[in-house]
Amino acid sequence: MYCFFGFSKKNNSLLYLNKSFNINNLFFSKMKRSLYFIYLLLGLGLLLNCTALNAQAPACIPDVAFAGNAPGLYPDSLPIAIGCQFYDVDVTFKLPRDTVISPVGTVNFLSFEIDTITGFPPGGMQWQSNKYPSNFYDVNPNNPNPDTLGCVRIWGTPVQLNVPDTFKLVIRVIAIVDITSQPQITTFVRDLIVTPCVFQGACYSYTQSQVCEPAQFVFQPSANLQSNGQPGFTYSWTFGNGQTSTQQFPSSQTFNNGTYMPKLDMTIDTLGYFIDNITINTVDCTETVFGTGAPDVYWILKDGIGNTIIPASAPISDATIPPVVNTNISGVPVTMGSTYNFEVWDDDQNDIPSSADDGCANDGDDATVSFMITGAGTFTVTNQGLSITYTVVHPIGSLTCQDTIHVSPLPPKPGIITNIDTAKICVGDVVSLFANTQSNFQWFLDGDTIPNAIGPIYDATVSGVYTVQAINNDLCYQLSDPFVLNFNPKPVVNVTNQNNGTSITYTANVTPAGVPYYYQWKNLITGGVIGTTNPLTVSSYGNYQLNVIYQSIPQCSTSVNIGIFIPTSVSDGFTLTDIHVFPNPSSGIFTVTMFSPNSQEVTFSVKDLLGREIYQKHLSGIYGEVQEEIHIEGLAKGVYLFTIDTPSGSRNEKIVIE
């Protein structure tokens, strides 16, 4: 910046408990004393520090003066942040110990944790609690020294966003209460106001909307250089962006990426006109009555109506004129267009007391030369031998100031692309979204910051409107166009069954109702599809599965493993009775007891769920009470099918190895 100034003589609610208890019940009861907790975190993170993004501030110290206060934030609101000025503030908060909910009664808070705070300017935020890095506060009733008093230090310089602006800070807090060990999560939103950036130069100030293009600047002269309605001030602005103005308060100026040197040239014409000098060039008067000798001259300055402005000077004895006599009259204010009289006299009374003084014009008969103020300059006037030269000045203040301003470029506007057909995505799918520019990033969902989503790829799993900010090294950013994802819901399937002994009927109840579905029933043991209708009846052994598919969106399907069905018997001629298999489950050794009313051949076999036979034992001519052991140790834990075959029929049992 440079500045020149002179005179011349010329012319900017996730808490769940039995589906009826939520975190809001905790925070809005017991005379609302825990309500303050919502506000005590309103400022836990504010501004971008453009010079030390990763620096750690000195730890804050809680103000013990608030230890006896009710839970809340002290002060209860943050000071307003002034744009482009370093901001540094400590906030003390008091945490609640318990609250009252109905019908449970008093519940105790065990701990609080400041999890995340989002909604800050791109590039990061600067905040640090006195419990950094855990941000964990233990308020357990059994803690003899509970962390009920905490603080946060907030620092940084808000420079890169449109200001004035209001930022919505989203604060996520995790609380633990003594009635459940499950973390209770809630979020709060608070507004933070940042005022414009104002810079003061030597003769003008300017407000800057942002450091990134297109930046808006509002210029105005310094307060002591504003006209306040007084005439005589002229302003000439040259902004460097191709625009100029002669207004005292010029309109807002737009600057794109680059360095500019806006300049103000101004004049201050408020002092008027002054007589700066008068010299006596010639006189027409003598000293004595005989007309010889040099006169003793003195002079008087009057206005046009005879009022004395400069009284009579001391006489100059025996003044020989020429050469000229300098009267040393200067700084006499005069009015443009007015007439003034300058009188030159010869002092005779000091020589001859009874004599009258003679004028120095027209051989003593006149003493006055008159002139009118017509402007600044040097003029000579004469009246019958009396000649004077006078100078009129018109002081005009001149001022020139120039500053250097810089506007940073925006990064290329990002776009969001993906490599899948988003019309066919389903709940449970993962959609990778790609930002198609090279930069630093911040992803948003429905306008809210996604914590820790700062890479070029984001894996989306929920429906919503996604955007991404590209952020360059100057911390300037551009926001992408919205990218909408709608995850189609998968069918919700509930299968009921009716066991008929030798058969089973499966019925699928699917929501949403009224939507056309495909049904695909499988026997996982054989791997084959056994039906495409609903309901379905099966009569053979198997491990079954149902796949329900949207007809319009085949990608969205739901598979349900129904389980194993073992028919009670295969034929009605089966004669073995009192069959028992025990212990079941076992480690692999089972005892089988049964009664055979007649002599017959019996075969025991064990198969896995894929139908593979892994054990077989044949018994010949059994009759009456029978007890046998089956040894299948070493098999994998799970369900197996135990079958008893006779010439007259078969019987199936489910056994479990654990």
At 22 the pLDDT is 33
The CATH H-level (homologous superfamily) assignment of domain 273-393 is: C2 domain (2.60.40.150)
Give the mean pLDDT of the chain. Answer: 83
Q: Is 7 helix (H, G, I), strand (E, B) or coil?
A: strand
Q: Is the pLDDT of residue 233 over 60?
A: yes
Q: Is the pLDDT of residue 86 over 90?
A: no
Topology adopted by domain 203-268:
Immunoglobulin-like (2.60.40)
At 16 the pLDDT is 24
Topology adopted by domain 23-195:
Immunoglobulin-like (2.60.40)
**160-216 residue pLDDT tens:** 555 567 777 777 888 898 877 678 887 777 777 787 778 887 789 998 877 789 999
Write the burial class of residue 132 (CB in 10 Å: 0-12 exposed, 13-18 middle, 19+ buried): middle
Q: Is the pLDDT of residue 397 over 90?
A: no
Tokens of 129: 């609690």
What phi and psi, each to the nearest 5 degrees, are found at residue 158? -75, 110
**355-386 residue pLDDT tens:** 788 899 998 899 999 999 999 999 999 999 99
Do residues 488 and 550 lie in contact, with contact meaning Cβ atoms separated by under 8 Å?
yes
Architecture label for domain 577-657? Sandwich (2.60)
* Highest mean pLDDT of the ranges 55-59, 164-168, 264-268: 264-268
* Highest mean pLDDT of the ranges 122-126, 487-491, 540-544: 487-491
CB count in 10 Å sphere of residue 298: 20
Q: How far apart are the first and last CA of the chain?
A: 85
Tell me the C-alpha distance between 132 and 149, whole Å: 14
Q: Is the pLDDT of residue 5 over 60?
A: no
* Highest mean pLDDT of the ranges 122-126, 475-479, 495-499: 495-499
Between 199 and 571, the higher pLDDT residue: 199
- Compute, in degrees rounded to 10, the torsion defined by CA atoms 457, 462, 464, 469: -20
pLDDT confidence band for 573 (50 / 70 / 90): low
| Domain residue spans of the chain | 23-195, 203-268, 273-393, 411-481, 492-565, 577-657
**Quick one: which of 337, 253, 357 has its CA closest to 295?**
357
Question: For 58-145, where are the E strands, in sequence order?
Answer: 72-74, 81-82, 87-94, 98-101, 105-118, 127-129, 136-138
At 78 the pLDDT is 79
> Would the CATH topology of 203-268 be identical to that of 577-657?
yes
Architecture label for domain 492-565? Sandwich (2.60)
**287-342 residue pLDDT tens:** 765 556 789 999 999 999 999 999 999 999 889 899 999 999 999 999 999 999 99
At 460 the pLDDT is 97
* Highest mean pLDDT of the ranges 53-62, 274-283, 441-450: 274-283
Class of domain 411-481: mainly beta
**Quick one: which of 472, 478, 481, 479 has its CA closest to 123?**
472
CB count in 10 Å sphere of residue 363: 14
pLDDT confidence band for 159 (50 / 70 / 90): low
